[in-house]
């Protein structure tokens, strides 16, 4: 993927903003509290109440008063872009709620409090705003950060601007609200395929920033596939030397050096997002097989591949190649784990169509043993559930269709159902002490077309339909607990919204397919099931859309939402 330098981001943004303000003030009869139109936050907080009092106004007198361990770093992460957008100094000061001096928050301040006694989960927070100031309280820095992301959506969309040339007409108002919030699921991922088409570091950082806005907390990077190997591995330099030169369609390649990758991990960590690296094994390995002949059973390097077929490549299970395969697994997975502060390493396992079943089981054993030896918890696609000898606690990643997959008339014309074995493979992870990440292709794969198959921003048709087409409403209506029959809520570690990039080469194309459907999956993953309602979601999307416009995101303005023009 590459950013088109000709993409007319800023004129587009400016026009959209004027429209956003008009649309917000004209918007669907939403409550207007003391001059602030309030549509709410995506994902919907567990509890959200409009208070009767006057709004808070952010002014150049505002300070960020940080109280408790870790609060200062969160305050700085919030303050940096807010200073750029407002032009206000927004100093961060260490607060002391007990003192009656400058360290006590004033009515013009934002107070950010980490209080271990607050009895909120790691990601929970409360936010109270009004004429007396804004106070966000959390038990842990992660929750405090997530509270600042709610505040970001409560502020005018101009808060997203990287410069202070456009202040909002009515001032920097925050409506008077009271929020108590925590997530439904602990793992809320955006899966990004950087293998079929490469995505540059700065574009990944932009995506992380938008993920934070939606309270997504895992960036799953699909780093390797048949068409490209995207991460530097010192012990096997040709993985990128040869394996990174290609992508789908022959548009060139790319890869992350270790320093690039650390930049991504660090930027994510500042936003309490964990990067989950995926090395897809034993299939989807043509890029590696093209780089090293000794990984192939016949000792002959494969040709580089730039097509879109799947299921034709495999590591070799032949004992004659075991030494090379095992050395490859140990070297690659340990170097990846070294770059990974988070608890998880993902080893793929999907579509092993070119691997005999017994060989697959043998390779799953060797792959997961090497991955577990790094000290990380292993995540694998559900196919690896065919093995009953997974490392205890291995997380299963289910990507087949939902159990209740229905054929709607505007969906794929031939019947598709989940493979009969997929549900059992998913349950095998539960039987072996693990949990599930749910990412059913017919509901959460954001590379599936919209049913009306619109041309993308650059005039090309985007996406595929092998699983389904997916509307915003279909993504929103997803009930994760019904993805596989017989799931308990506690079986579910979380959810993922995936973007596979076979048809996606540019940032605007990526954004068009990802947004706004990713917001639906974010809300499914975060909000209590009974806090979700489609009409409210559409209304809240108006505000989110204004923020995305200000960020220059080329999201699709799907019907049924009063988007700013
Ligand atoms: C997958 O879609 N093969 C994970």
Q: Answer whether residue 157 shows pLDDT above 50.
A: yes
| Ligand 1 atom showing the smallest separation from residue 498 Cα | 2
- Pocket test of ligand 1: the residue of 346, 380, 441, 444 to mutate, having most ligand atoms within 8 Å of its CB, is 441
Reported confidence tier of residue 35, pLDDT bands at 50, 70, 90:
low
Query: Ligand 1 center to residue 485 CA distance, Å?
Result: 20
For residues 243 and 338, membership in a common domain is answered with yes
User: Which of residues 110 and 467 earns the better pLDDT score?
Assistant: 110
Q: Answer whether residue 60 shows pLDDT above 50.
A: yes
**Which class for 160: exposed (0-12), middle (13-18), buried (19 or more C-beta within 10 A)?**
buried
**Residue 532 within any structural domain of the chain:** no
Whether 350 lines ligand 1, by a CB cut-off of 6 Å, is yes
For residues 495 and 407, membership in a common domain is answered with yes
Q: Answer whether residue 162 shows pLDDT above 80.
A: yes
Instruction: Compute the residue count for the chain.
Output: 565
Active site residue 351: yes
Query: What is the average pLDDT across 25-53?
Result: 72
**Residue 119 within any structural domain of the chain:** yes
Inter-axis angle of helices 201-213 and 534-551, nearest 10 = 140
Query: Ligand 1 center to residue 1 CA distance, Å?
Result: 19
Query: What is the average pLDDT across 225-236?
Result: 98
For residues 175 and 269, membership in a common domain is answered with no
Q: How far apart are CA 360 and CA 453, in angstroms?
A: 37
- pLDDT score for 267: 98
- pLDDT score for 85: 97
The pLDDT tens digits for 345-356 are: 999 999 999 999
| Ligand 1 atom showing the smallest separation from residue 310 Cα | 3
Query: Ligand 1 center to residue 464 CA distance, Å?
Result: 13
- pLDDT score for 249: 94
**Residue 544 within any structural domain of the chain:** no
| Ligand 1 atom showing the smallest separation from residue 350 Cα | 3
pTM as predicted: 0.93
For residues 207 and 266, membership in a common domain is answered with yes
| Ligand 1 atom showing the smallest separation from residue 351 Cα | 3
User: Tell me, what DSSP letter sits at residue 148?
Assistant: H
The pLDDT tens digits for 235-283 are: 999 999 999 999 999 989 999 999 999 999 999 999 999 999 999 999 9
- pLDDT score for 545: 96
State the residue range of the domain holding 319.
187-526
- Pocket test of ligand 1: the residue of 192, 226, 381, 439 to mutate, having most ligand atoms within 8 Å of its CB, is 381
> 211, 42 in Cβ contact below 8 A?
no
Q: Answer whether residue 5 shows pLDDT above 60.
A: no
- pLDDT score for 149: 98
- pLDDT score for 169: 86
Reported confidence tier of residue 503, pLDDT bands at 50, 70, 90:
very high
For residues 206 and 299, membership in a common domain is answered with yes
User: Number of folded domains in the chain?
Assistant: 2
**Which class for 311: exposed (0-12), middle (13-18), buried (19 or more C-beta within 10 A)?**
middle
- Pocket test of ligand 1: the residue of 193, 500, 501 to mutate, having most ligand atoms within 8 Å of its CB, is 500
- pLDDT score for 375: 98
Whether 381 lines ligand 1, by a CB cut-off of 6 Å, is yes
Give the lowest-confidence range in 34-48, 127-141, 154-168, 358-372.
Answer: 34-48
The pLDDT tens digits for 298-310 are: 999 999 999 999 9
Nearest CA to ligand 1 atom 3: 350
**Residue 412 within any structural domain of the chain:** yes
Nearest CA to ligand 1 atom 2: 399
Whether 351 lines ligand 1, by a CB cut-off of 6 Å, is yes
DSSP 292-354: -GGGSTTS-PPPP--S---S-------GGGHHHHHHHHHHHHHHHHHT--SSEEE------TT
For residues 448 and 483, membership in a common domain is answered with yes
**Residue 3 within any structural domain of the chain:** no
For residues 396 and 496, membership in a common domain is answered with yes
For residues 339 and 468, membership in a common domain is answered with yes
Query: Ligand 1 center to residue 350 CA distance, Å?
Result: 6
Q: Answer whether residue 27 shows pLDDT above 70.
A: no
For residues 168 and 298, membership in a common domain is answered with no
**Residue 539 within any structural domain of the chain:** no
Q: Answer whether residue 13 shows pLDDT above 60.
A: no
Query: What is the average pLDDT across 199-225?
Result: 98
| Ligand 1 atom showing the smallest separation from residue 381 Cα | 4
The mean of the pLDDT values for the chain is 91
Q: Which of 30, 351, 481, 482 is catalytic?
A: 351
Query: What is the average pLDDT across 85-98?
Result: 90
Q: What's phi and psi for 498, nearest 5 deg? A: -110, 140
- Pocket test of ligand 1: the residue of 351, 396, 447 to mutate, having most ligand atoms within 8 Å of its CB, is 351
Query: Ligand 1 center to residue 439 CA distance, Å?
Result: 9
Q: Answer whether residue 20 shows pLDDT above 80.
A: no
Q: Among residues 181, 215, 242, which one ends one of the domains?
A: 181
User: Which of residues 201 and 460 earns the better pLDDT score?
Assistant: 201
> 394, 429 in Cβ contact below 8 A?
yes
For residues 192 and 132, membership in a common domain is answered with no
For residues 233 and 167, membership in a common domain is answered with no
Whether 280 lines ligand 1, by a CB cut-off of 6 Å, is no
Reported confidence tier of residue 313, pLDDT bands at 50, 70, 90:
very high
Query: Ligand 1 center to residue 556 CA distance, Å?
Result: 24
Q: Answer whether residue 14 shows pLDDT above 60.
A: no
Query: Ligand 1 center to residue 309 CA distance, Å?
Result: 12
**Residue 159 within any structural domain of the chain:** yes
Q: Answer whether residue 291 shows pLDDT above 90.
A: yes
């Amino acid at each position: 993927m590459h950013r088109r330098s000709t993409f007319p981001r800023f004129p587009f943004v400016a026009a959209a903003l004027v429209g956003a303000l008009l649309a917000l003030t004209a918007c669907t009869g939403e409550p207007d509290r003391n001059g602030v139109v309030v549509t709410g936050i995506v994902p919907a907080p567990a509890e959200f109440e409009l208070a009767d009092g006057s709004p808070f106004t952010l002014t150049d007198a505002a300070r960020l008063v940080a109280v408790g361990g870790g609060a200062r770093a969160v305050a700085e992460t919030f303050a940096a872009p807010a200073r750029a957008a407002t032009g206000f100094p927004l100093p961060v000061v260490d607060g002391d709620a007990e003192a009656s001096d400058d360290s006590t928050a004033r009515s013009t301040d934002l107070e950010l409090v980490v209080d271990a006694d607050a009895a909120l989960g790691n990601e929970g927070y409360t936010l109270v705003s009004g004429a007396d100031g804004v106070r966000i309280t959390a038990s842990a820095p992660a929750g405090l950060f997530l509270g600042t992301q709610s505040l970001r959506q409560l502020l005018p969309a101009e808060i997203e601007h990287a410069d202070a040339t456009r202040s909002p007409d009515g001032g920097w108002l925050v409506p008077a609200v009271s929020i108590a919030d925590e997530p439904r699921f602990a793992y809320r991922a955006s899966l990004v395929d950087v293998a079929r088409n490469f995505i540059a570091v700065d574009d990944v950082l932009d995506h992380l920033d938008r993920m934070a806005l939606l309270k997504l907390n895992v960036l799953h990077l699909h780093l390797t596939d048949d068409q490209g190997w995207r991460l530097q591995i010192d012990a096997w330099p040709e993985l990128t030397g040869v394996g990174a030169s290609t992508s789908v369609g022959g548009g060139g390649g790319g890869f992350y050096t270790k320093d690039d990758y650390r930049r991504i991990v660090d930027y994510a960590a500042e936003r309490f997002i964990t990067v989950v690296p995926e090395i897809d094994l034993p299939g989807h390995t043509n890029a590696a097989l093209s780089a090293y002949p000794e990984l192939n059973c016949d000792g002959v390097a494969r040709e580089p591949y730039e097509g879109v077929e799947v299921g034709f490549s495999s590591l070799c299970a032949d004992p004659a190649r075991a030494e090379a395969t095992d050395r490859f697994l140990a070297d690659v997975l340990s170097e990846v784990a070294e770059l990974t502060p988070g608890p998880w390493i993902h080893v793929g396992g999907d579509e092993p169509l070119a691997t005999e079943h017994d060989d697959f089981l043998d390779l799953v054993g060797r792959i997961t043993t090497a991955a577990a030896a790094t000290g990380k918890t292993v995540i694998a696609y559900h196919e690896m559930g065919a093995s009953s000898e997974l490392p205890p606690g291995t997380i299963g990643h289910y990507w087949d269709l939902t159990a209740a997959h229905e054929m709607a008339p505007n969906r794929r014309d031939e019947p598709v159902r989940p493979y009969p074995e997929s549900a059992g493979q998913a349950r095998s992870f539960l039987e072996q002490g693990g949990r599930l990440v749910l990412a059913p292709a017919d509901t959460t794969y954001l590379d599936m077309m919209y049913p009306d198959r619109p041309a993308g921003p650059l005039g090309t048709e985007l996406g595929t339909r092998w699983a389904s087409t997916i509307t915003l409403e279909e993504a929103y209506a997803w009930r994760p607990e019904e993805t596989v029959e017989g799931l308990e809520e506690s079986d579910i570690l979380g959810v993922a919204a995936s973007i596979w990039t076979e048809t996606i080469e540019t940032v605007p194309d990526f954004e068009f397919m990802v947004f706004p459907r990713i917001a639906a999956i974010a809300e499914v993953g975060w909000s209590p099931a009974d806090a979700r309602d489609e009409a409210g979601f559409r209304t809240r999307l108006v505000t989110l859309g204004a923020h995305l416009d200000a960020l220059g995101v080329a999201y699709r303005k799907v019907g049924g939402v009063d988007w700013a023009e």
